[in-house]
Amino acid sequence: MDAGTEIRFALERTRDETDGLLKPLSDEALSAPVPEPGLPLVWVLADIGRFEELWLLRSLDGQPPLAGRHDDVYEALRAERTRAGRPVTPPASAVRAYVEDVRERALEALARTDFDAPDPLLRKRFVFGLVLQHELQAQERLLQTIQLRTEVEYPGLRDAPRDRAPSGPDEISVPEGTFTLGAVDEPWALDNELVAHEVDLPAFRIDRLPVTNAEFTQFVADRGYRSRRAWSDPGWEWREREGVEAPLYWENGKDGSERIRFGHREPLPPDEPVQHVSYWEAEAFARWAGKRLPTEAEWERAAGWDPRRGKMRFPWGQESMGYEANLGHRRFSPAPAGSYGGGVSPVGCVQMAGDVWEWTSSSFHAYPGFLPFPYPELSEIYFGDEYRVLRGGSWATDPIVARTSLRNWEDPGSRHVFAGFRCARDD
């Protein structure tokens, strides 16, 4: 398959998935208000088109802006926030037309692209990978936003079959040693994954499985949210300010704990990895359990480093066949802890890709030798102690994005993301 055909297939496959997520929703639903920190779904869709226009039409193909053809969308994109602090929402029909127009023009530009041209954006087809990953990540934002509207049922929830991983110890002992942190031979690696470099790590232990709802329920029942000693100073300040008493979307039912999942109320599945917890909640649980959160280096060492084979794209190897992990929103929740025997990491950890993003203790900083590319707003402006790094991807993350070197980052108080965690401790 030639480069143009391969990229066209990937773009169309991704757009089909985006359209499939939005198909059950009316234009009114796309434009409906959403609780903080979300924005109306139509804004996520508009951003898909805006990003594709910027990089495939304007930056790569040299086309002028499409403002004259899509005034409503461009005016909304330019508009200042209203007095209420929310952006002006463009009509859903106008956004759909804009996104379709951009895609039609992008495919025309693709057909005349010279992949051998000396353009850094075309090296290893990077610009197409950038646009693809942006839309795939936008699909996860769409699902996060749909979940925020707890009073509206989203139809078509599904639960894909899964296998069971072999049983094993609660913790995995990882010996001290040197490994390579960062992306190696990844043509679509983002700038914050580079430059790959060697890191010396002391021995540590890491949980074989992510923390489950049942385990987190024990923390709640033991008044973990009221135990000051379980929380760091900034974590306790956050808990007091927000009045948090349980993970987001958890509620008390007459027969026990329940959760709201895409507008559907259901019993809390005890064996699923806990999700919708902030960094502060994860940190407090780990302290309560006598452990800590892993650093991102420890996480990547456990997930993607084999002393014999070197750096691995996924915990199980270099390719994803689909049966190794709960990825790509094939099911609309995490799979039970201990699932997916085909996805065991080199050290023996399970579910380090998919199910839930996993909080690490690391702040989001540049690697040595970092160079911003193709623009500082991709990563550089977010570097600092204000954000914590998450790893691994969730059930809503596409395999293209869920490589072991990818670094996600969020405000430590964020709870709307499909995030959970596993614990670690010194060996």
CATH of the domain at 40: 1.20.120.450
Mark whether 62 and 184 lie in a shared domain: no
Mark whether 411 and 353 lie in a shared domain: yes
* Cα–Cα distance, 88 to 9 (Å, whole number): 34
Q: Helix 71-78 to helix 41-52 angle, to the nearest 10 degrees?
A: 100
Mark whether 417 and 275 lie in a shared domain: yes
**234 has pLDDT over 80:** yes
Mark whether 69 and 188 lie in a shared domain: no
**What is the domain-level CATH number for residue 228?**
3.90.1580.10
Q: For residue 154, tell me if it sits in a domain.
A: no
Q: For residue 85, tell me if it sits in a domain.
A: yes
Q: For residue 99, tell me if it sits in a domain.
A: yes
- Give the mean pLDDT of the chain: 94
Mark whether 141 and 176 lie in a shared domain: no
* Cα–Cα distance, 262 to 151 (Å, whole number): 8
**Phi, psi at residue 148, to the nearest 5°?**
-60, -25
Name which residue leads in pLDDT, 166 or 193: 193
Mark whether 135 and 182 lie in a shared domain: no
Mark whether 73 and 210 lie in a shared domain: no
**86 has pLDDT over 70:** no
119, 148, 177: which is the final residue of a domain? 148
CB within 8 Å of 108: residues ≥ 6 apart: none
Q: Which domain holds residue 260?
A: 159-427
Nearest to 342 by CA among 320, 310, 311, 357: 320
User: CB–CB of 178/307 below 8 Å?
Assistant: no
Mark whether 138 and 211 lie in a shared domain: no
- Longest Cα pair distance anywhere in the chain, in angstroms? 65
Mark whether 261 and 405 lie in a shared domain: yes
Mark whether 263 and 378 lie in a shared domain: yes
Q: For residue 234, tell me if it sits in a domain.
A: yes
Q: For residue 153, tell me if it sits in a domain.
A: no
Name which residue leads in pLDDT, 76 or 45: 45
For residue 9, CA distances in Å to 3, 190, 291, 392 come to 10, 22, 45, 25
User: CB–CB of 362/295 below 8 Å?
Assistant: yes
Q: What is the dihedral of CA 93, 96, 99, 102, to 10 degrees?
A: -60
Kindly indicate the confidence band of residue 165, based on its pLDDT and cuts at 50, 70 and 90: confident
State residue 157's pLDDT score: 85
Q: Domains in the chain: how many in total? A: 2
Give residue 285's Cα distance to chain centre: 22
148, 167, 192: which is the final residue of a domain? 148
Q: For residue 57, tell me if it sits in a domain.
A: yes
* Cα–Cα distance, 324 to 213 (Å, whole number): 22
Q: For residue 372, tell me if it sits in a domain.
A: yes
Residue with tokens 């039970």, as numbered in its chain = 336
State residue 81's pLDDT score: 45
Q: Check residue 87 and report its DSSP letter.
A: P
**416 has pLDDT over 80:** yes
Mark whether 426 and 289 lie in a shared domain: yes
pLDDT digit string, tens, across residues 381-398: 999 999 999 999 999 999
Mark whether 222 and 76 lie in a shared domain: no
81, 116, 148: which is the final residue of a domain? 148
Q: What is the pTM of this model?
A: 0.95
Q: For residue 320, tell me if it sits in a domain.
A: yes
